[in-house]
């Protein structure tokens, strides 16, 4: 990666944290300039518009989620071990409020009902995540560890529900209980589909 590419990645990483704090809609070139100590004109040269900045920040958040959750999960053996690794990494990232993992939850709610490229990208990112989760569950079916009649997308839906409930429960009740209840719900989900 070039020096300019490294600089832009560092700016975008900071942009993910800023967007997590102020909301993706509140992320502006001016707000990012304040957080980074860089000039607005310098940042404008990189992004040209608020929408371009938001889309680039979403791309950075997506890359950070893939690096923190999906890539390590698919590095473990197929089937239940892979599903477990996915669950633990996703749960822990949400529990620790890692900006690159949690921004999507906040931003989808924020942009719900709006039109435009940012909304469309958020929808696509969530669909891509569910497709990835379904594929990971599918490895458990193909390995014979989960029932052959299990529906991978239904399992992705159920796991998504566990993750989002745990995320919100953590804010309302506390992280320890959220982790415990998420783990219990996850084990119930796996027990329901084991062959």
**Domains parsed from the chain with CATH numbers:** 58-193 (1.10.357.10)
The whole-number pLDDT of residue 177 equals 93
Predicted confidence (pLDDT) at residue 40 exceeds the cutoff of 90: no
Predicted confidence (pLDDT) at residue 125 exceeds the cutoff of 70: yes
Predicted confidence (pLDDT) at residue 158 exceeds the cutoff of 80: yes
Predicted confidence (pLDDT) at residue 58 exceeds the cutoff of 90: yes
What is the overall mean pLDDT for the chain?
90
**Confidence bin at 106 (pLDDT 50/70/90):** confident
The whole-number pLDDT of residue 100 equals 62
Give the pair of three-digit tokens for residue 107.
Answer: 């931003």
Q: What is the mean pLDDT of residues 103-112?
A: 86
The percentage of the chain sitting over the pLDDT mark of 70, rounded to a whole number, equals: 96
Predicted confidence (pLDDT) at residue 82 exceeds the cutoff of 90: yes
The whole-number pLDDT of residue 43 equals 84
The percentage of the chain sitting over the pLDDT mark of 90, rounded to a whole number, equals: 58
The whole-number pLDDT of residue 99 equals 65
Q: What is the mean pLDDT of residues 75-80?
A: 96
The whole-number pLDDT of residue 107 equals 87
The whole-number pLDDT of residue 1 equals 65
């Amino acid at each position: 990666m070039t020096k300019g590419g490294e600089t832009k990645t560092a700016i975008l990483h900071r942009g993910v944290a800023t967007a997590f704090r102020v909301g993706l809609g509140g992320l502006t070139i001016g707000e990012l300039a304040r957080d980074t100590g860089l000039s607005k004109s310098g940042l404008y040269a990189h992004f040209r518009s608020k929408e371009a900045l938001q889309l680039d920040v979403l791309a950075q958040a997506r890359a950070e989620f893939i690096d923190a959750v999906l890539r390590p999960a698919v590095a473990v053996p197929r089937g239940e071990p892979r599903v477990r690794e996915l669950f633990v990494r996703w749960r822990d990232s949400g529990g620790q409020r890692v900006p690159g993992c949690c921004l999507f939850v906040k931003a989808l709610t924020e942009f719900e009902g709006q039109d435009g490229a940012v909304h469309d990208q958020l929808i696509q990112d969530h669909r891509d995540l569910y497709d990835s989760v379904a594929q990971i569950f599918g490895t458990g079916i193909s390995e014979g560890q989960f029932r052959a009649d299990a529906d991978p997308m239904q399992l992705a839906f159920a796991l998504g529900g566990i993750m989002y409930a745990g995320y919100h429960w953590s804010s309302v009740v506390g992280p320890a209980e959220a982790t415990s209840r998420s783990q219990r719900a996850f084990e119930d989900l796996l027990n329901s589909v084991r062959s």
